[in-house]
A and B are shown apart, each in its own frame.
Chain A
Amino acid sequence: MTHIALAGGALLILIGVWGMLTKKNIIRIIIGFSLFDTGLHVVLVGLGHLKNRTAPIIDSDLPREAAASRVVDPVPQAIVLTAIVIGLAVTAVLLAFALKLYQSRKTLDISELREGNND
C-alpha cells in the first residue's frame, strides 16, 4: 500500500509539474498545480500509513490501551486536512485570477499574458 501510494503520489507530482511547465493554457496549468498538490497529499497520507493498522478513532473495537499498536499515525492525517484546504484556497484564488485575466485579454495562453516586453 505505502509503496503504491508513495509512487503514485510522486507520479502525480511529476505529472503536475510537467503540466505546469509545458501547458500553454492557464487553466491547464492550474490543473497541473492541482495535480501537483494532490500528489503531495497522497504522499503525505501514504507516508503516515503503517502496515495492517487502522484509523486512529477510539471506539468499541479499538480500546485506548491497544490503540498505540493498532492505529496509523494521526499526524499526517491531520496535516493533510489542513493542506487540502490550503490547496483549495490557492486553487480558488488562482482560478479567480484566471477568470480576470481571461476577461482582460480574452486569451488563456500564458505566453501572451505578460505586460509588454517586460521592462
Chain B
Amino acid sequence: MNFDPMKIPWSLLGLFIVFCIGMFIRGFVPKITARVGKRIGIRIYQPWFDYVKNFSIQTSITHGYMFYLGPVFRLTGGIGMVLFMPLIHGSWYFSNFAFAGDMVLFLYLMFFGTLGMALGAGESGHPYSAIGVARGLAQVTVAEIPLVLAMLAVAAQHHTLSISQIVAAQQGGIAHWTMVTNPVATATGMLALLGSMMNSPFNVVLAPQEIPIGPPTEYHGTFLGILTTNRSIFPMAKIIFFMNIFFGGATNWAILILKGWLIYMWPVIVGVVFPRFRVDQSIRWFLKVPLLLGILAVALV
C-alpha cells in the first residue's frame, strides 16, 4: 500500500474528532467520580476552558532544550498512536496510516511520548518528576505482561498482527468479537488496561495527593496546553486500540464513541471502588492473576 497525500487531511480530521471525544470524556469522568463521592464536580465543558486558559498565559519559563522538547515528544507520541490506528472499520478516510504498521508499532509508540515527557520533566530538576517516572516505569513493566500476552493470543488467534485485519475478522455480530471468541485474552487485556489508565488502584504513579506538584506544575501555560491536548488524545488511542482488538472495532463514529466510553468507564469504575496500591504491591498483583490468565490465554490458542 502506498502513501496517498489525500490521507493527510482525513487523518487530521479523524484526529480532531478523537481529540473532541477525549475532551468530553475528560470532563465527564471527573463529574462521575465527584458524584459518586457526593460532590458536585466540575462542569463537563471545563476542560475546554482550561485549554483556552493555558494557551493564553503570557509568562513562560524553560529549564533547557529537553524541557522544551518534552511536551513535543509527548504529544507526538499521542498523535502518532492515533495516526497509525484504524479508527472506523471499512472506511478509507478514517483508516489513517494503519497500513504502515501493526500492533507492535502501536505498543512501542506508546513509549515514545512517555519517554520524552519523562526526560523533559527530568530536566526541570524537580525530584518528584523523577520519582513519578520511576514509579510509572516500574509499574508499566509488569502491567505490560498481561497486555502482551493478550495481544499475542489475539494475534495468534486471528493469524495476524495487523489491527485492521483483526477488526475485519471480528465483523458480523457480537459472536465474532474477540470478547466472545477469546474471553480469556479479553479478560487479561482488560486487567492490563487498568494498569495504564492512571486510575486507582494503579495511580500512585501520579499520586495526586502525595505529590501535589510535578510535571503538570513545572509545565505551565503553553506547555501544559500541549500536555492536556495529549491527555485527551493518548487515552483515547489506547481505548480505541482495545476496542479494535477485543470488541469488534467500530464501523461508524457513534459506535466508536459508545464503545470507547464503555471501555473508558471500566477503569474508572474499578478506580472508584478500589483503594490505591503502592508500586511494589501493584507489581506483585500483576504478577499473580493477570499473568496466570495471560498464560492461560496463550496456552489456549
A and B touch in the complex (CB under 8 A): no
Task: Give chain A's interface residues, CB within 8 Å of chain B.
Answer: none
